[in-house]
Amino acid sequence: MQNTVVTPADLKTALMDIRHSAIELYRFTEKLTLLKMVTQVAIQIIKAVDTIQKEISTLSGEALLDALELSKAVAFLDEIVDADAISELESYVLPFAKNLDDEALTCFLSEVTDKVEAKYNAMLEKTHEFNALIKNELE
């Protein structure tokens, strides 16, 4: 492992950015049955961020890097960027929408799916940035 260039404050900021994006996604999708799978991903990410924040709250230097390298929550965030919940959502919602006779309702479902995808992608982008930050430090 190399000497750390990333400060605990940098990590805290990156984690808060992920958490904020996940909360936005959660609030947009909560209590909507068709969007339940996306809501669950947002909850998992919020929990992972909270766990990482607890794990590293008092650490710095090599101890911080070691904790990040061993963290199951960090590993989860690394894996989640490859998950494709939006494709699953689209494969569920869009065929359903196409079977509707109401063009306005079909358009509405497509618009909602697009908004969910934008929020989901924003959350994944923040997660990807955090993962890159960590990987640069651990290599």
pLDDT tens string 71-116? 999 999 999 988 888 888 888 777 777 777 788 888 888 899 899 9
What's the pLDDT score for residue 125? Answer: 96
Q: Contact, 21 vs 42, CB < 8 A?
A: no
**Residue 83 belongs to domain spanning:** 8-138
Confidence of residue 134 (pLDDT cuts 50, 70, 90): very high
Residue 90 lies in a domain: yes
% of the chain with per-residue pLDDT over 70: 96
Give 20's pLDDT tier (boundaries 50, 70, 90).
very high
For residue 1, is it within any domain?
A: no
Which two tokens mark 72? 């199951």
Per-residue model confidence (pLDDT) at position 1: 43
Q: Judge whether 2 lies within some domain.
A: no
Residue 118 lies in a domain: yes
With a CB cutoff of 8 Å and minimum separation 6, the contacts of 49 are 15, 16, 18, 19, 22, 73, 77
For residue 12, report the phi and psi dihedrals to the nearest 5 degrees.
-60, -45
Distance CA 6, CA 54 (A): 18
Domain count, the chain: 1
